[in-house]
Amino acid sequence: MPIIAEYEYLKVKSMEEALKIKSEYGNKAKVIAGGTDLIPLLKENYIRPEILIDLKGLKEIYEIKIKNNFIRIGAGVTFADIIKSKTIKKYFPILWEASMTVASVGVRNRATVAGNICSAVPCADSAGPLLVYNADLIVVSEKGERKIKIEDWFTGPKKTSLNEDEILLFIDIPILKNKNAGCYLKLSRYEGEDLAQGSLTILKTGEEYKIAFGSLGPTPKRAYKTEEYLKGKKINDNVVSHVQKIIVDEISPITDIRATKEYREHMAKVMIKRGIEKTISRYYNGKPKYGEGMIE
């Protein structure tokens, strides 16, 4: 299907060049790295940018690099890169696990993690892991650089706290010092590639849990009340049944074409129960392996 919108296209040679255009054009300039969200929008004529800034020529956006106490993921890093990265699998296995569920091989070869959270749809698969790992987002503009906490990033469906003149350049994830385990649970309509009907990410470090959900509210979000309740608790049936009530209060799902509100609420309960079981099993026994046993 051809694109009928007319726009300038510029493959920039430096970030400065990109930022200059961004500061001049604002939202009328769109940034392209993977393009798996942007190009369909162009084809459908939903967006009509005046200029496309292609970042693919910039070397610095492709790195997955261990810094002092964090790991830096560049804006050009694709889900396929994440899946291939031993560093990610070692330090952030939940992000690795979630990446395996993104669309299909072909899409993962192009789609970037940064693009995933810039599109900021409620079902973004990388959002949950980045939320529980407390990622920091490094955004740049001509005015300089600023750091946005991932929990402050998602401001509404398809909305972020990124300003018009800014570009998301790096995702920095702090390295966890303590033993940890977790899981990404994705509810989908069939076995093939799908957008989540609902998702749940759980991370356990010691006695603490961090929990995030996707497609169960207008934005991907942390479930702080649920986390607070679980803190220091020994998990038993009572605790699980109580936590199921809390999570349902914390989410705000809607009925749409992918699922009803009722099913999403029900599945949030099922997912939190199975997610905790799986997390604990991974924490103590290392089983099931990451990438194995989704919502069976």
When asked if residue 259 is in the footprint of another protein (CB under 8 A), the reply is yes
Edge to edge, what strands does the sheet with 29-32 contain? Answer: 8-11, 51-54, 29-32
Q: How far apart are CA 33 and CA 15, in angstroms?
A: 13
Q: Which of 103, 271, 102 is nearest to 187 (CA)?
A: 271
CB 145 within 8 A of CB 139: yes
Task: Find out whether 81 and 89 touch, Cβ atoms under 8 Å.
Answer: no
Residue closer to another protein, measured from CB, 143 or 189: 189
* Residue 248 three-state SS: helix
For residue 247, give every residue at least 6 positions away whose Cβ sits within 8 Å of its Cβ, in sequence order, or none: 211, 213, 223, 226, 268, 269, 272
| Binding region for another protein (CB under 8 A) out of 18-26, 152-160, 201-209, 263-271 | 263-271
Shortest distance (Å) from residue 258 CB to another protein: 7
- Nearest distance from residue 263's CB to another protein, in Å? 4
Q: Does 245 bind another protein (CB under 8 A)?
A: no
Instruction: Please state whether the peptide bond connecting residue 288 to the residue before it is cis, i.e. omega within 30 degrees of 0.
Output: yes
Q: How far is the CB of 242 from another protein (least distance, A)?
A: 18
Q: Which of residues 165-224 bind another protein (CB under 8 A)?
A: 187, 189-195
2 lies in the site for another protein, by CB under 8 A = yes
Nearer to another protein, 109 or 141 (CB): 109
Task: Please give the backbone phi and psi of residue 246, each rounded to the nearest 5 degrees, phi first.
Answer: -65, -45
For another protein, the closer of residues 63 and 194 by Cβ is 194
User: How many residues can be counted in the chain?
Assistant: 296
Q: Which stretch binds another protein (CB under 8 A): 19-27, 58-66, 82-90, 258-266?
A: 258-266
* 266 near another protein (CB under 8 A): yes
Q: Count the neighbouring beta carbons within 10 Å of the beta carbon of residue 56.
A: 13
Binding residue for another protein, selected from 89, 263, 280, 283, defined by CB under 8 A: 263
Under rule CB under 8 A, residue 46 binds another protein: no
Residue closer to another protein (CB basis): 66 or 105: 105
* Residue ranges in contact with another protein by CB under 8 A: 1-4, 187, 189-195, 257-260, 262-263, 266-267, 270, 295-296
